[in-house]
């Protein structure tokens, strides 16, 4: 075996690529190889016999001296001191030997300056790369913001277009429906009358779709606002039930209404939007119920200061909803299944619009339903309180079933219709129907006055003869034509008379007839004045 002499060992140590430093038990340098000279900048003869702290922190040697008797083998990151005083990072491994009962420490170390420099370069490169990424993100954010603005602008343009087109469609549709109503009041044979009814019904369906689209476009564009006027909540409920009575009769359904007597007589809010939500729910209930009943309930909730919470519930014994439909039934353009539109029609916007309107009125809307057993839709709304007496107590349930299916029902309680001193007519709807044409407006007024007079005479005659059936029929016809003329008080009086006729409850009929006659004179005077303008 080859024996290495001291000269050869010295040459091997000097050829090492790592700095090697040996210390005696006093931490004085006794070996300093060539690599150590290059790293620290000292010649070996300058440091031999010198304390190690001129090169390394003394605690490093202390650490080595405190180790186990042989090799410590612990790596330590530390700093070295060059001859010029510069501090630089090192990576050191320390071993401990005993020779001739004397402690010898051997330190091998690497200069990490180049690695640090490389790391610095890498950090700079990474920083520049991050800067590039940041600039790209800023640019993409800018592009996304511009795209978002374009989308919003496009959405506004779409909503404006839908609003404009809906108005453009509504005006001729109102004219078609109005003229068809006039046509149906002329002498026609059975086939012609059937054709006229088809035109009218199709026109009303199309108009309802257009109105849904217009309302939804307004809501999406944030342009739909609520009115804030005094109104009678009881009147709104009765109006909705009266409007839906014919549809319920045709299907031989029992349509009942229950009104909490604690509901204030007058509130402040938007009766038009309340009526719209109620009408949508009741219309759906009648539409999707083939036998049984529909129940409309109005209840008063807790009052908060100057506000009153009303809760409305519409229950039916119809087809019900699948369980999974509860999650999305109030989303736009959705219906219970794909066959619903084909079978029942509609846009799938009604409940979505109702939800938004209810939320705008400070309330909530929900549904409970069992498929095949019926549905219960409910909603709450908030209205401002008005200092006025509560309405007179009324019967718990008003039944407006088809006459053939009607059992005796209680009389409808009187409320303050016909005593309103506001304008007797509102001609906005009529102006839309006629497109503002004065001559066509005059024709509508003449036709209404010409037909209303004999209808009123028939109503009076039916009241005198206790003919409940004739009373209900004629009151229903006069209600429709009065609605076109914007004679809302006449409409409500006709609703009362129609309901009393259906229930064959005639005690209050003479009084309501007299009020109807007086209101007609007010309407007639206002219409004649309008025609002269």
Write the DSSP assignment of 475-523 as a string of letters. Answer: HHHHHHHHHHTT-HHHHHHHHHHHHHHHTT--TTHHHHHHHHHHHHHHH
Q: What is the pLDDT along the chain (533 residues), one digit of tens a residue?
A: 456 677 788 888 888 888 999 888 888 899 999 999 999 999 999 999 999 888 886 555 555 555 544 433 444 557 888 999 888 888 788 888 777 778 888 888 888 876 655 555 556 666 677 777 777 777 887 888 787 777 666 666 666 666 666 667 777 777 788 888 888 888 889 888 888 888 887 887 777 777 777 777 777 767 778 888 899 999 899 888 888 888 888 889 988 888 888 888 889 999 989 998 999 999 999 999 999 999 999 998 876 678 899 999 999 999 888 877 767 788 765 555 544 444 444 556 788 889 999 999 999 998 888 888 889 999 999 999 886 444 443 434 444 443 333 333 333 333 333 344 456 677 766 666 666 677 777 777 888 888 888 889 899 888 888 888 888 888 888 887 787 777 888 888 888 888 888 888 888 888 889 889 888 988 888 888 877 66
Q: Taking the domain 6-111, which CATH number applies?
A: 3.30.450.20
The radius of gyration computed from the CA coordinates of the chain, to the nearest angstrom, equals 46
Non-local (6+) Cβ contacts of 462 within 8 A are: 468, 470, 471, 474, 501
Question: What integer pLDDT is reported at residue 67 of this predicted model?
Answer: 53
Which tokens belong to 87? 């501090």
**Cα separations in angstroms, 34 against 17, 44, 391, 471:** 9, 8, 111, 124
- Of 354, 275, 371, 268, nearest to 317 by C-alpha is 371
Interatomic CA distance for residues 19 and 35, integer angstroms: 5
Class of domain 417-533: mainly alpha
What φ, ψ does residue 47 adopt, rounded to 5°? -115, -15
Topology annotation, domain 136-216 = Helix Hairpins (1.10.287)
Q: Taking the domain 228-416, which CATH number applies?
A: 3.30.565.10
Question: What integer pLDDT is reported at residue 444 of this predicted model?
Answer: 77
- Of 243, 242, 254, nearest to 407 by C-alpha is 254
Question: What integer pLDDT is reported at residue 77 of this predicted model?
Answer: 59
Question: What integer pLDDT is reported at residue 417 of this predicted model?
Answer: 38
Interatomic CA distance for residues 81 and 19, integer angstroms: 13
| Contact status, residue 64 vs residue 107, Cβ threshold 8 Å | yes
Domain spans, the chain: 6-111, 136-216, 228-416, 417-533
3-class secondary-structure state, position 145: helix
Chain position carrying tokens 């009393």: 500
Contacts 24+ apart (CB under 8 A), 330-338: 330/354, 330/355, 330/365, 332/216
Question: What integer pLDDT is reported at residue 43 of this predicted model?
Answer: 93
Question: What integer pLDDT is reported at residue 174 of this predicted model?
Answer: 77
């Amino acid at each position: 075996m080859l024996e290495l002499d001291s000269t050869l060992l010295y040459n091997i140590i000097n050829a090492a690529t790592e700095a090697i430093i040996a210390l005696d038990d006093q931490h004085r340098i006794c070996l300093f190889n060539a690599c150590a000279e290059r790293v620290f900048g000292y010649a070996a003869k300058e440091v031999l016999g010198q304390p190690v702290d001129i090169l390394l922190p003394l605690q490093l040697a202390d650490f080595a001296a405190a180790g186990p008797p042989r090799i410590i083998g612990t790596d330590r990151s530390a700093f070295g001191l060059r001859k010029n005083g510069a501090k630089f990072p090192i990576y050191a491994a320390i071993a401990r030997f005993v020779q001739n009962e004397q402690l010898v420490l051997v330190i091998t170390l690497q200069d990490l300056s180049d690695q640090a420099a490389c790391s610095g370069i890498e950090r700079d490169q990474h920083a520049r790369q991050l800067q590039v990424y940041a600039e790209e993100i800023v640019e993409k954010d800018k592009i996304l913001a511009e795209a978002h603005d374009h989308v919003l602008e496009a959405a506004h343009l779409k909503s404006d277009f839908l609003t404009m087109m809906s108005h453009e469609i509504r005006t001729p549709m109102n004219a078609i429906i109005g003229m068809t109503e006039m046509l149906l009041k002329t002498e026609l044979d059975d086939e012609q009358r059937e054709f006229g009814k088809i035109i009218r019904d199709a026109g009303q369906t199309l108009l309802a779709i257009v109105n849904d689209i217009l309302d939804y476009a307004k809501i999406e564009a944030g342009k739909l606002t609520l009115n804030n006027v005094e109104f009678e909540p009881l009147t709104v409920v009765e109006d909705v039930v009266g409007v839906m009575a014919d549809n319920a009769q045709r299907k031989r359904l029992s349509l009942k209404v229950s009104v909490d007597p604690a509901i204030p007589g007058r509130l402040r809010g938007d009766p038009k939007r309340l009526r719209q939500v109620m009408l949508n729910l009741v219309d759906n209930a009648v539409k999707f119920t083939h036998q049984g009943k529909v129940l409309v309930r109005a209840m008063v909730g807790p009052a908060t200061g100057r506000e009153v919470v009303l809760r409305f519930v519409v229950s039916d014994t119809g087809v019900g909803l699948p369980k999974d439909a509860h999650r999305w039934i109030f989303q736009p353009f959705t219906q219970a299944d794909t066959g619903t539109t084909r079978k029942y029609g509609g846009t799938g916007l009604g409940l979505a619009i109702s939800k938004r309107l209810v939320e705008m009125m400070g309330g909530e809307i929900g549904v409970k339903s069992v498929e095949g057993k019926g549905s219960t839709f409910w909603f709450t709304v908030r209205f401002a309180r008005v200092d006025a007496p509560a309405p007179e107590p009324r019967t718990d349930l008003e039944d407006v079933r088809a006459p053939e299916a009607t059992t005796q029902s209680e009389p409808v309680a009187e409320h303050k219709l016909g005593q309103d001193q506001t304008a007797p007519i509102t001609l906005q709807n009529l102006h839309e129907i006629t497109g503002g044409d004065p001559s066509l407006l005059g024709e509508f007024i003449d036709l209404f006055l010409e037909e209303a007079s004999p209808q009123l005479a028939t109503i009076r005659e039916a009241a005198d003869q206790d003919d409940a059936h004739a009373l209900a029929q004629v009151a229903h016809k006069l209600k429709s034509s009065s609605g076109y003329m914007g004679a809302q008080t006449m409409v409500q009086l006709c609703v009362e008379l129609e309901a009393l006729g259906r229930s064959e409850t005639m005690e209050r009929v003479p009084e309501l007839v007299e009020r109807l006659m007086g209101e007609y004179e007010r309407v007639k005077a206002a219409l004649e004045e309008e025609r002269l303008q």
